[in-house]
Amino acid sequence: MELEAREGIPLLGEKVPDMAVQTTHGRMKIPTDFSGKWFVLFSHPADFTPVCTTEFMAFEKMRKDFEKLNCALIGLSIDQVFSHMKWTEWIKENMKVEIGFPIIADNGAAASKLGMIHPGKGTNTVRAVFVVDPNGAIRLMLYYPQEIGRNMAEILRVVKALQISDENKVAMPANWPNNDLLGDEVIIPPPTDEKAAKERLSKYKCFDWWLCHKKLD
């Protein structure tokens, strides 16, 4: 059953609410303009702030890695588009990094729909991350405090893991693809009946009938 979008912090599996937004790349409709693609929508507290600057540089340096996974990046904060443009210009001139992904200049409407505004932090958006699949469904959410910068390698990892999980109907162990027990192997979903539980012992590598694993094909 398809879940309907609602205002506030969403649930996994819900659709991203339809939003018409102004960005540094012009007007966009989310998720319509990214139909058929994965995308990472992430908010930052404000332009011209130290942690956010390091995050945007880190995202840009990994942008092509995301694009190889058919995944776009979209930033967001409650700042005017002119502020975004001046900030990215500063990053280019001073840090020699040119931001190639769009940044939403939100008036608070988009942030409110996605629960990005913490009542105790004024109008600043929290460091939220939404990984959205090609059908517009939210598949993963991360929320960070203002003081802690994000790990972009982890965000890239989960996009790749979600895609592989969807395609192969498998699960990923902790720290995949570098799990201490299974390495880069994946976990077979639990069986639903006794016959399947017995058959899988000869079909896969198993520690027991409920913990079986394999190499990706």
Q: Are 45 and 72 in contact (CB under 8 A)?
A: no
Q: Which of 25, 63, 40, 61 is nearest to 141 (CA)?
A: 40
Which CATH class for the 169-217 domain? Answer: alpha beta
Which CATH class for the 19-150 domain? Answer: alpha beta
2: left (phi over 0), alpha (psi -120 to 50) or beta: beta
Mean pLDDT value across residues 173-197: 95
Q: Which of 148, 129, 59 is nearest to 97 (CA)?
A: 59
Is the pLDDT at 59 greater than 50? The verdict is yes
Is the pLDDT at 25 greater than 80? The verdict is yes
Is the pLDDT at 52 greater than 50? The verdict is yes
Separation of alpha carbons 217 and 212, rounded Å: 15
Residue 215 pLDDT: 96
Q: Is 52 a catalytic residue?
A: yes
Whole-number Cα distances in Å, 10 to 1, 22, 41, 73, 188: 16, 22, 13, 19, 28
Q: Which of 91, 84, 113 is nearest to 5 (CA)?
A: 113
Residue 128 pLDDT: 93
Residues 6+ apart with CB under 8 A from 114: 9, 10, 16, 17, 41, 43, 128, 130
Q: Can you list the positions of beta strands (E) in 57-176?
A: 71-77, 103-105, 127-132, 138-144
Q: Are 109 and 95 in contact (CB under 8 A)?
A: no
Selected catalytic residue, list 52, 71, 206, 212: 52
Q: Are 184 and 176 in contact (CB under 8 A)?
A: yes
Residue 117 pLDDT: 79
Residue 122 pLDDT: 59
What's the residue count for the chain?
Answer: 217
Using pLDDT thresholds of 50, 70 and 90, give the confidence band for residue 141.
Answer: very high
Is the pLDDT at 144 greater than 80? The verdict is yes
Do β-strands 138-144 and 186-187 pair in parallel, antiparallel, or remain unpaired?
unpaired
Q: Are 131 and 155 in contact (CB under 8 A)?
A: yes
Residues 6+ apart with CB under 8 A from 168: 186, 216, 217
* Sequence spans of domains, the chain: 19-150, 169-217
3-class SS at 33? helix
**pLDDT tens digit string along 93-135?**
999 999 999 999 998 889 888 988 766 655 678 899 999 999 9
**pLDDT tens digit string along 151-172?**
999 999 999 999 999 999 999 9
Q: What is the DSSP string of 93-107?
A: HHH-----S-EEE--
